[in-house]
Amino acid sequence: MRRSTLTRTALSALLVLGTWATAGLVPAAAAGSPSPASSSPSAQPASAGLLSAMAKDLGLTAAQARARLASERTATALQAPARRAAGSSYGGAWYDAHSGKLTVALTGSGRADAVRATGAAVALVKHSARTLDATRKQLDKGHAPTGVSSWHVDPEANRVVVDVVASAQDDNDVRAFVARARKTGPVTVHTVPGAARTLAAGTVGGDPYYTGNVRCSIGFSVNGGFVTAGHCGQPGAAVSGWDGSAVGSFQGSSFPGNDYAWVSVGNGWWTVPVVLGWGTVSDQLVRGSAAAPVGASVCRSGSTSHWHCGNVLATNETVNYSQGAVNEMTGTSVCAEPGDSGGSFISGDQAQGVTSGGWGDCTGGGETWFQPINEILNQYGLTLTTA
């Protein structure tokens, strides 16, 4: 199994051609006239399709999936007030699926009662989030050999985790990088099955989003277009849809360093706040972009492997692709395959980000990373199209 950017095929957050409206697909907002994005998770019920996908991939009953989504909404909303209550003793936070609560790490007990008053649980740790993040940023400054796959802060372990490809762990450059990493702060090393590489591929007929001979998945509708992965195209590159008709062009793109882009929409296309279920599950409405905590469930839609669910494993992770490192990614236990690049990651009805890359596949399993949606919106001054 190998980590990879997942470049091939398209359409996760629906961009519909005007002629589709006669088939019952009516856009909720025209391009350039988006609904305002919600700043917090809604209490809207999850679709039957989302519940069935969670049940399949997370081993839950429908009732357990609904209960988990409700507790995750609460945990997501608690993140900001709990962090404020923790003050300088804040050591990170994560969602505990067993207790159904947000757990906040503290470097001392002085702020514990204030944090518990928000509704969060407390765990005492040695290192503050500021210390861990400073260690991660030190690693970002250096060059990493290809045998080093990624690194991220693990708040529950209270360490910075460096992922090393198992077959390369005895490589001299890898050993030297690990030795330098350990000197920067609290670092631990894990081994993973594969290394990072891109998987661009030729055009496959019938898929909706093409740039030259590359196909990728649409992430989320925004004012004037959609967001997707940066490795899918450069600024100015023309984009065509599933039928070969002109859609628009890349207006901004960044890769490596980041992996995000946005594409303008015109020529009779418009945007709607929908993530496709591809006939496997019901389509999911998008109502906001509140970021889910580590440990929360998350699902992904892509044109190759369709719906799959898992958990958020890490935030602010640096992934070391062969083209260069990409910073501030979110790692997940969700599988993905070539063609899913740029596609939608969603938790409940909250947009999370666009698919970047991963290792493995949806037969044998794997892990996938996404670029957080709010960073993309802020970078380009875009507004998420919401229901």
Q: The tokens 């989030």 sit on which residue?
A: 129
154 labelled catalytic: no
Token duo for residue 2: 């190998």
- Phi and psi angles of residue 168, each rounded to the nearest 5 degrees, phi first: -110, 5
Is 341 one of the catalytic residues?
Answer: yes
Spatial separation of the C-alpha atoms in residues 8 and 321, rounded to whole Å? 17
CA distance 122 to 103: 5
DSSP state of 29: S
Burial-class residue 149 by CB neighbours within 10 Å (0-12, 13-18, 19+). Answer: buried
Torsion sign over Cα 342, 347, 349, 353: negative
Per annotation, catalytic residue among 4, 341, 344, 347: 341
Helix (H) or strand (E) holding 191: strand 187-192
- What is residue 230's DSSP assignment? G
Closest Cα to residue 276, out of 60, 32, 9, 72? 9
Amino acid at 45: P
Tokens (6 digits) for 59: 């081993």
Amino acid (one-letter) located at 26: V
CA 112 – CA 282 distance, rounded (Å): 42
**Selected catalytic residue, list 259, 283, 349, 361:** 259
What's the rounded Cα separation, in Å, for the pair 68 and 30?
A: 34
322 is catalytic: no
Active-site hit among 127, 152, 231, 308 = 231
Q: What is the helix, strand, coil percentage profile of the chain, to 5?
A: 25, 40, 40
Instruction: Supply the DSSP string of 248-294, one letter for each residue.
Output: EEEEEEE-SB--EEEEE--TTEEEEEEE--BTTB--EE--B-PPPPT
Asked if the peptide bond before residue 41 counts as cis, ω within 30 degrees of 0, the response is: no
Rg for the chain, CA atoms, rounded: 20
Amino acid code (one letter) for 284: Q
Evaluate whether 362 touches 57 at the Cβ level (below 8 Å).
no
Active site positions, annotated:
231, 259, 341
